[in-house]
A and B are shown apart, each in its own frame.
Chain A
Amino acid sequence: MTDTKEHLLNNSIVCFGCSYTQGVGPRDFEENWPYFLSQMIKNKTVVNMAKAGSSLLHAVYTLEYIQKNNLKPKFIFFQVTNPYRLTLRREEIDVEDFEKISDNFYITNCNIKTCTPATSFYKWDRKYYNFRERNDVLWKTEQSSLLIYAKSILKNYPHFLYPQEEIDIYQHILGDWRVKGSLFTDKFYEKNQIDVGAHLNNYALKKQAEYMMTKIY
Chain B
Amino acid sequence: MFESLINNSIVCLGCSFTYGVGKNKNYENWPYFLYKKIKNQRVINMSHGGTSLLHAAFTLEYIFYNNLKPKFIFFQVTNPYRLTLRQKEIKEKDFELVDRETDFYMTGIDIIETNSLGDLKSKWVKNYYISRDPEKDILWQTEHTALLVYIKHMLEKYNHCLYSQEKETVYESFVEFALRGDIFDEDYYSKNIIDKGDHLSVQALQRQADIFSEKI
Which residues of A does B touch, CB under 8 Å? 57-58, 60-61, 64, 87-92, 122-125, 127-128, 131-132, 135-138, 141-142, 144-146, 148-150, 152
Give chain B nearest CB distance to A143 CB in angstroms.
9
Chief secondary structure at chain A's binding surface:
helix
Chief secondary structure at chain B's binding surface:
helix
Residues of A within 8 A of B149 (CB): 145, 148-149, 152
Q: A144-B150, A149-B149 are in contact. Are A124 and B127 (CB under 8 A)?
A: yes
Alpha-carbon distance between A13 and B84 when the two chains are bound, in angstroms? 38
The residue on B at minimum CB distance from A113 is B131
Q: Mark B136-170, 1 if CB is under 8 A from A, else 0.
A: 11110011011101110100000000000000000
Residues of B within 8 A of A132 (CB): 85
The one of A88, A135, A142 in contact with B54, judged by C-beta atoms closer than 8 angstroms, is A142
Q: A128-B124, A144-B150, A149-B150 are in contact. Are A137 and B139 (CB under 8 A)?
A: no
Asked if A60 and B147 make an inter-chain contact with CB atoms under 8 angstroms apart, the answer reads no
The one of B123, B128, B138 in contact with A91, judged by C-beta atoms closer than 8 angstroms, is B138
Asked if A148 and B86 make an inter-chain contact with CB atoms under 8 angstroms apart, the answer reads no
Tell me if B132 counts as interface (CB < 8 A to partner A). yes
Place the interface of chain B in its size category: 20 to 34
Q: A136-B86, A137-B88 are in contact. Are A149 and B145 (CB under 8 A)?
A: yes
Which residues of B does A touch, CB under 8 Å? 54-55, 57-58, 61, 84-89, 122-124, 127-128, 131-132, 136-139, 142-143, 145-147, 149-151, 153
The residue on A at minimum CB distance from B56 is A141
The one of A57, A64, A148 in contact with B150, judged by C-beta atoms closer than 8 angstroms, is A148
The one of B86, B123, B142 in contact with A61, judged by C-beta atoms closer than 8 angstroms, is B142
Alpha-carbon distance between A138 and B48 when the two chains are bound, in angstroms? 15
Give chain A nearest CB distance to B141 CB in angstroms.
8
Alpha-carbon distance between A75 and B188 when the two chains are bound, in angstroms? 52
The residue on A at minimum CB distance from B89 is A137
Alpha-carbon distance between A142 and B86 when the two chains are bound, in angstroms? 13
User: What 8 A-B pairs come out closest when comparing CB atoms?
Assistant: A145-B150, A124-B127, A149-B146, A127-B124, A124-B124, A61-B142, A141-B58, A145-B146
Alpha-carbon distance between A152 and B149 when the two chains are bound, in angstroms? 8
Asked if A90 and B55 make an inter-chain contact with CB atoms under 8 angstroms apart, the answer reads no
Residues of A within 8 A of B139 (CB): 57-58, 61, 87-89
